[in-house]
Amino acid sequence: MTGRAGERRQHLIRHIIQVGSAQVDELAALFHVSRMTVHRDLDALEQQGIVRKVHGGVTVHPSNLVESNVLYRSQVAAREKEALVRAAAEYIEPGQAIILDDSSTTAGITRHLAARKPLTVITNSLGAIRQLKELYGIRVICLGGDYNSRFDSFLGLICEQAVSSLRANTLFMSTSAVIGTTAYHQEQDVVKIKRALMAAVDRRILLVDSTKFGRTAINRLAQLSEFDLLITDDGLGAEERAALGDAKINLRIVPVDRGVR
């Protein structure tokens, strides 16, 4: 999304995520546009799988079966995700080769790489590639394949084969749900790529914000014990912390500034 309409729709998404649902008249007044313009914006966002239009308004209902659009996911738990990627960047040293998956969480790591170059970054995320392509001192290896606009990334057999020919120091990865000590994801094709990425590195770091614990998703991704480190935020409940401790999961909990947005 580009231009004034694209910028307005991003603000629209942020507002709907914060309030959960809204009426067309309310949105028209809030953004100083006509009801027809709001309807056009909501139609566009609904086609992208970000929102669901209901009679007279709009709502956001993330599905346990289908992963949400990348733009929606990038707006959810933004402060928590930034705290996670800031902590994750501490584990990157100049000269290393790292892998970033296509998650909205790990995408934020690209903002912290300039101070750690030279680096080689391997990724299937087109968004990450865009961020890194002109950054001096960062070599980018793009994992091609079938482009999926919902994830803004490359998936499929070609991508899996490309991963299998490479080796890197550290993988930074996220997922959409954690139940107990098991990570899950809604999309089978995404799980296949994530498993391939896990097999191509010496160290695996999983970044999961606290809102994802206790969620349900259909496909098992991995046991948390398969990761060398799990980074989450201080919103994680005492019960979940205790369960992870009992399972001997290597856990780092980072503080989040949850001041007024």
- Same domain, residue pair 22 and 81: no
Q: Is the backbone peptide bond immediately before 118 cis, with ω within 30 degrees of 0?
A: yes
| HSE toward the beta carbon, residue 229, CA cutoff 13 A | 18
Cα separation values, 99 from 128, 171, 200, Å: 11, 5, 9
Domain range for 39 = 3-61
- Same domain, residue pair 36 and 88: no
Residue 66 lies in a domain: no
- Same domain, residue pair 109 and 238: yes
Closest by CA position to 207, among listed 116, 141, 108, 129: 108
User: With left for phi above 0 and alpha for psi between -120 and 50, is residue 147 left, alpha or beta?
Assistant: beta
Mean pLDDT, the chain, rounded, equals: 87
**Does position 78 have pLDDT exceeding 80, yes or no?**
no
**Does position 72 have pLDDT exceeding 60, yes or no?**
no
- Same domain, residue pair 100 and 32: no
Q: Are strands 182-185 and 229-233 parallel, antiparallel or unpaired?
A: unpaired
In degrees, rounded to 5, the angle at the alpha carbon of residue 72 between the alpha carbons of residues 71 and 77 is: 115
In this prediction, residue 71 has a pLDDT band, given cuts at 50, 70 and 90, of low
List, in sequence order, every residue forming a beta bridge with 99; answer none if it has no partner.
122, 171
- The most confident of the ranges 188-202, 207-221, 245-259 is 188-202
Is 239 within 8 Å of 179 (Cβ atoms)?
A: no
pLDDT tens, residue by residue, 24-55: 888 888 888 998 998 888 888 777 666 778 77
Give the separation between CA 38 and CA 42, rounded to whole angstroms: 6
Is 98 within 8 Å of 119 (Cβ atoms)?
A: yes
- Same domain, residue pair 113 and 224: yes
- Same domain, residue pair 169 and 125: yes
> For the domain that residue 83 is a member of, what is the CATH number?
3.40.50.10470
3-state helix, strand, coil in the chain (%, to 5): 40, 25, 35
Q: What is the dihedral of CA 190, 108, 177, 200, to 10 degrees?
A: 50
In this prediction, residue 1 has a pLDDT band, given cuts at 50, 70 and 90, of very low
| HSE toward the beta carbon, residue 203, CA cutoff 13 A | 14
**Does position 242 have pLDDT exceeding 90, yes or no?**
yes
Q: What is the dihedral of CA 12, 15, 19, 21, to 10 degrees?
A: 0
What pLDDT shows up at residue 65? 40
- Same domain, residue pair 100 and 21: no
- Same domain, residue pair 90 and 162: yes
What would the mean pLDDT of 51-72 be, rounded to a whole number? 61
- Same domain, residue pair 108 and 202: yes
Number of domains in the chain: 2
- Same domain, residue pair 83 and 56: no
Closest by CA position to 74, among listed 13, 19, 154: 13
**Does position 64 have pLDDT exceeding 50, yes or no?**
no
**Does position 97 have pLDDT exceeding 50, yes or no?**
yes
- Same domain, residue pair 112 and 155: yes
Residue 44 lies in a domain: yes
